[in-house]
């Protein structure tokens, strides 16, 4: 039996903690073969982003077509897409190849606080990419930014924002609660029928670089293996929570270090 294949379409992180590198590590840790199409090169480390070099849209297209024309892609994860033209190229590729599962992580700001998405690309996310997604995975600040609203403080506000995000075309949204407060980090999986509350103990560490990338990739890995959406999200959250809990063992960099993708091997 062949190994399931997942494709990540995202930016590269030169320090290896987020983006394409985190996605491929997550795919491998979750038992999925990872392919990639790089949308941007970043010069970054655990302290911040010092430069972004965008990949031309026609070369993003070439990468996507090269992968889909040869590999049996079961799920796609889409991360950093800094420019409107890149989103156009990705959407055209999704229309051409029609993958069954598409997880979109609307990466707008890095853990360090650096903005990664140009303002004109935000509207393209809402109107072009989200309608092609099976699931979108914004954190609390990203959900607020997408809606031009204040960051949700209460559970009722989070659920209401989730429902408003659904009107942008994706059948499901996972609002991540890592930026919240309290003893638990709670995510909310919202679709047209239900709200599923997913809580885990909040872990006291500054080493959370790549958390969002890794969660969305772990969800895509589960979908690629044939899991239903809720099961894929639950397993992904458990995987990332354990990777955060083990992050301090790595001691990589002097800023926000990476999570421990291969914690089960220690």
Catalytically annotated residue among 17, 34, 177, 212: 212
Q: Is 257 a residue of the active site?
A: no
177 is known as an active-site residue: no
**Active-site residue flag, 211:** yes
User: Taking phi first (over 0 means left), then psi (-120 to 50 degrees means alpha), and beta for anything else, what does residue 253 get?
Assistant: left
From 39, 46, 111, 211, the catalytic residue:
211
Active site annotation includes 30:
no
Backbone angles phi, psi at 262, to 5 degrees: -110, 40
Q: Which two tokens stand for residue 178?
A: 């890592």
Residue among 17, 177, 210, 222 flagged as catalytic: 210
Query: Whole-angstrom distance between the N-terminal and C-terminal Cα of the chain?
Result: 28
In the set 34, 74, 178, 213, the catalytic residue is: 213
Inter-residue contact 215 to 235 (CB < 8 Å): no
Q: Single out the catalytic residue among 176, 178, 180, 237.
A: 176
DSSP state of 254: S
Active-site residue 50, yes or no?
Answer: no
Query: Could you give the maximum distance between any two Cα atoms of the chain, in Å?
Result: 48
Find the catalytic residue in 208, 222, 237, 257: 208
CA distance 29 to 212: 16
Q: Is 210 a catalytic residue?
A: yes
- Residues with catalytic function: 176, 208, 210-213
């Amino acid at each position: 039996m062949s190994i399931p294949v997942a494709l990540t379409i995202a930016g590269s992180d030169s320090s290896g903690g987020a983006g394409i590198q985190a996605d491929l590590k997550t795919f491998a840790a979750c038992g999925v073969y990872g392919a990639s199409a790089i949308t941007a090169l970043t010069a970054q480390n655990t302290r911040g982003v010092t430069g972004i070099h965008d990949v031309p849209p026609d070369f993003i297209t070439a990468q996507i077509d090269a992968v889909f024309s040869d590999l049996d892609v079961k799920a796609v994860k889409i991360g950093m897409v800094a420019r409107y033209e890149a989103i156009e190229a990705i959407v055209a590729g999704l229309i051409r190849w029609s993958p069954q599962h598409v997880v979109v992580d609307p990466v707008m700001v890095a853990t360090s606080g650096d903005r990664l998405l140009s303002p004109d690309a935000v509207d393209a996310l809402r109107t072009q990419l989200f309608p092609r997604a099976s699931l979108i995975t914004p954190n609390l600040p990203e959900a607020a930014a997408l809606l031009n609203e204040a960051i949700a403080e209460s559970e009722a506000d989070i659920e209401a924002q989730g429902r408003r995000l659904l009107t942008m075309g994706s059948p499901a949204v996972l609002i991540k609660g890592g930026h919240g407060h309290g003893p638990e980090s709670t995510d909310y999986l919202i679709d047209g029928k239900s709200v599923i509350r997913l809580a885990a103990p909040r872990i006291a560490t500054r080493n959370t670089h790549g958390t969002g990338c890794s969660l969305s990739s772990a969800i895509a890995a589960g979908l690629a293996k044939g899991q239903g959406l809720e099961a894929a999200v639950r397993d992904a959250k458990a995987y990332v929570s354990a990777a955060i809990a083990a992050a301090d063992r790595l001691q990589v960099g002097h800023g926000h270090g990476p999570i421990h993708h291969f914690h089960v091997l220690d």
